[in-house]
Structure 1
Amino acid sequence: MSSKILYKVTFLNHGKVYELYARHVGTSNTMWGFTEVGELVFDLHEGLVVDPTEERLREEFGNTRMLHLPMQSVVRIEEVEKKGQSAIRDAISGEKVVTPFPVPAKPR
C-alpha cells in the first residue's frame, strides 16, 4: 500500500455524478458546510489510448488546487488502495455521460 492515502470522492454537480480521486479530503476551515478536496489524481496517458472521461475531468479540474464541495452534494468518500477509473454519470440513470466512441443509433 502507498504511503499516501488515496480517496475516491463521489459528488453531484449539475445533474451528474462525478467520481474523482484525491489525496486530501477534509472539512473546510474557512467555509462552514463545505468539504475540501485537494491534490486531485489523474492518469497520465502517454500512448495512443486515451480515456475521454479522464481527459474531460482533467480539462475541468486540472488547474484546481482545492475543491470546496457543499456537504449536501457529497454522495460518498471512500479510502481506497489504488486508483480506479474516474467517471461522470447521469444522476438519474447512472449511465456514463462520456462515452469512448460514438454510439450508433438503434435501427427503428
Structure 2
Amino acid sequence: MTKKRIYKIKFISQGKLYELFAREVSQSSIYGFIEIGEIIFGEKSVLVVDPTEEHLKSEFSGVNRTYIPMHTIVRVDEVEKGGINKITEVSLSEGNVAMFPSPIHTPGKTKK
C-alpha cells in the first residue's frame, strides 16, 4: 500500500497567514490558481480545542476542493505528518518573506 503524501500550504488571505495541511495540491485548470483537496483537520479525540482550527473547520466545512490564487501562496512543503491548521497575523515589517506585487492589470485604470 502506498503512503499518501501530506502537504503544508501557507498562503495569505484577507491580510492573514493561513497554514493548512492537505493530501492533494496541484496546479488548477483555472489559470493562476492552485487546487487544494482533502484538507486534514486534527483528531476529534483531542480534548484541547484550538479556536483557530475550529474557525477553519467551519470556514472549509462542505468544501471538497479550494482554489487559491497563485500570487498569495507563500510556501508549499511535503511533510511527514500533519499538524494543526492555523491562522496568524501577517507582519510584513518582520522576517524575510515578501509578498508578490498586486495584480499587474487593475480594472478601470487607463493610460494617459
Q: What TM-score results when the alignment is normalised by the length of structure 2?
A: 0.75
What are the residue-to-residue correspondences of 1:82-93 with 2, within 5 Å?
Answer: 82-92=81-91
**2:71, 2:36 → 1: CA distance?**
14
Deviations 1:6-59 (A, max 9, x none): 000000000000000000000012x11110011100012235421212111101
**1:48, 1:6 → 2: CA distance?**
24
**1:28, 1:70 → 2: CA distance?**
10
Aligned match of 1:69: 68
- Tell me which structure has the larger Cα radius of gyration: 2
The aligned length equals 92
**1:39, 1:47 → 2: CA distance?**
20
The 1:34/1:50 distance shift into structure 2, 3 A limit, reads same
State which drifts further: 37-46 or 20-29: 37-46
* Contact 2:41–2:84 (CA under 8 A) maintained in structure 1: no
* Contact 2:15–2:89 (CA under 8 A) maintained in structure 1: yes
State the percentage of identical aligned residues.
43
- Unmatched 5+ residue regions in structure 1? 95-108
The 1:47/1:78 distance shift into structure 2, 3 A limit, reads closer
Secondary structure of the equivalent of 1:72?
Answer: helix
Aligned match of 1:15: 15
**2:46, 2:20 → 1: CA distance?**
22
Quote the offset at 1:85 in angstroms. 2.0
- Unmatched 5+ residue regions in structure 2? 95-112
Q: What TM-score results when the alignment is normalised by the length of structure 1?
A: 0.78
The 1:65/1:90 distance shift into structure 2, 3 A limit, reads same
